[in-house]
Amino acid sequence: MPHLLLKDLPRYECLLECSKHFPGLDPSACEAFLYLLRAGDEAFRVIDAHFQAHDLSQGRFTVLMLLFEKPSGQPHALTPAQLAEQSGVTRATMTGLVDTLERDGMVTRRPDPVDRRQLSVELTPRGLEFLQSLLPEHFRRISALLSPLDENERRTFVALLGKVAACASETFPAPVHGAPAHT
């Protein structure tokens, strides 16, 4: 589900032209911004096409990965609230994601004997098997996407992306999904 975006990015000369009409328009910033959005979109599209072929969405994949046993070894059981917090969606959305994953037999909900409000979401053997069958192609696509960049360029790339992302979350902080904590 790519963000709606211009099919053909405007040329830099066009942006220069536009900047004459809009004093606030920074041509090189706009160009970098558009390239960032388009590259992110393209990368997302490539990964999502693979997911869709297996009736998976980005959201469902993230949930499965969170429940996937870490290298440490022990399997993961998380509550819907924890899953929502760690994957950056609302609890309401997580309800829907777990609904479909449970319907497809990938995860199970279990009531918590201690706190009867909570549930415990776990990966089923079928979910584990599914994920493991999916990951090789997933990683292959990621490797292919980044193949035009050598190790040095990748370091530079990560550094630049990190700067922009940090600036975004500092200058325009994201609203907190849970309680606003208005202190």
Q: How far apart are CA 12 and CA 34, in angstroms?
A: 11
Number of Cβ within a 10 Å radius of residue 123: 24
What's the DSSP call for residue 69?
P
Choosing among its own copies, DNA, none, which partner's interface includes residue 110 (Cβ < 5 to 8 Å by kind)?
none
Among 87, 98, 121, 130, binds its own copies (CB under 8 A): 87
Q: How far apart are CA 51 and CA 150, in angstroms?
A: 27
Choosing among its own copies, DNA, none, which partner's interface includes residue 109 (Cβ < 5 to 8 Å by kind)?
DNA
45 belongs to the binding site for DNA (CB under 7 A): no
Q: How far apart are CA 130 and CA 134, in angstroms?
A: 6
88 belongs to the binding site for its own copies (CB under 8 A): yes
112 belongs to the binding site for its own copies (CB under 8 A): no
Q: How far apart are CA 91 and CA 112, in angstroms?
A: 17
What 3-state class would DSSP assign to 56?
coil
Choosing among DNA, its own copies, none, which partner's interface includes residue 42 (Cβ < 5 to 8 Å by kind)?
its own copies
119 belongs to the binding site for DNA (CB under 7 A): yes
100 belongs to the binding site for DNA (CB under 7 A): yes
- Lay out the site mask for its own copies across 128-157 (x = CB under 8 A, - = otherwise): -------xx--xxxxxxxxxxx-x-xxxxx
